[in-house]
Amino acid sequence: MSLTIGGGPLARNAPKTVNYTFDSPAHALFLHPFTRRVRAEVGGQAVFDTGRGMLLHETSLLPALYVPFEDLDASLLAESEHTTHCPYKGDAAYWHLSVGGHTVENAVWAYPQPNEDASWLRGLASVYWDAADAWYDEQEQVYGHLRDPFHRVDARQARRVVRVSWQGETIAVTDHPKVLSETGLPDRYYLAPETVRRDLLVPSRTTAYCPYKGRASYWSLRVGDAELADAAFSYTQPLKDGRDVREHLSFLHSELTVEVE
């Protein structure tokens, strides 16, 4: 997010409120060291374990970790005939990943002869996130993607009235919400449980994972015979960046009316 997505300085919708210009192509690349120890495992076996990672930020894409090719376990790799072409990085070569009789095709890629403008990718390789069973940032298992060092999450206590309604029924009202600001996203209001009509909420099976805030549980609304699926979400066991909104509910659905005074 931050640099290349959501209105960041390297995004396609980069902000206009600046006093500088970038002499760069429409599709920007930015590589920098990610020196914490990172490892990816398949079947409990490390595909790589490195402290020499490099994080590539690329316009409209989430950052991707590249590691020195020699830090990969070569015994798990087999060359693939698959190739792709990126006009910004060059021609990519691929490798299959096999562990314990299980093979993930084209799980690893690299640019053996990258474009001149991306020559610093030579000798580096990347692993598709979903090709590994588990990823670790130091000793902490991470989900979804590595945390972008340019991404920030802040929650603040606010003093304003927030009212949530649906089909004329008041669902929640408070004058002390928490406002959560997250890089590249609109501010979200989180409401304390006691300010919400819990009798109208029905637990949903839907979950989502944020690498910064943790796993979100969803709630549907039921008013009479009408039901609105996944109208609210909350973090019951949040990661560090979500602790200030633990157990609070945020309402996010196009059919809801959310008024802020």
pLDDT at 255: 97
Tell me which amino acid residue 234 is. Answer: S
Q: What is the DSSP string of 173-234?
A: EESS-EEEEETTS--EEEB-GGGB-GGGEEEEEEEEEETTTEEEEEEEEEETTEEEEEEEEE
**Residue 1: CB atoms within 10 Å:** 21
Over residues 177-195, the pLDDT tens digits come to: 999 999 989 999 999 999 9
Region of residue 150 (phi > 0: left; psi between -120 and 50: alpha; otherwise: beta)? alpha
Name the residue among 27, 4, 11, 170 with its Cα closest to residue 89: 27
Residues in the chain, pLDDT under 50: none
The domains located in the chain, with CATH, are 29-142 (2.170.150.40), 153-260 (2.170.150.40)
Q: Where are the alpha helices (DSSP H) in 15-104?
A: none
Question: Half-sphere exposure (CA, 13 Å, Cβ side) for 147?
Answer: 22
pLDDT at 9: 84
How far is CA 228 from each of CA 202, 208, 209, 223, 231, rounded to the nearest angstrom?
A: 10, 18, 21, 9, 6
Instruction: Enumerate residues 6+ apart whose C-beta is below 8 A from 21.
Output: none
Q: What is the DSSP string of 83-132?
A: EEEETTTEEEEEEEEEETTEEEEEEEEE-SS--GGGGGGTTEEEE-GGGS
pLDDT at 5: 84
In whole angstroms, what is the distance from residue 159 CA to residue 144 CA?
A: 33
pLDDT at 71: 98
The two tokens of residue 177 are: 């919400």
pLDDT at 12: 83
Instruction: Enumerate residues 6+ apart whose C-beta is below 8 A from 248.
Output: 178, 190, 191, 192, 193, 234, 235
pLDDT at 249: 98
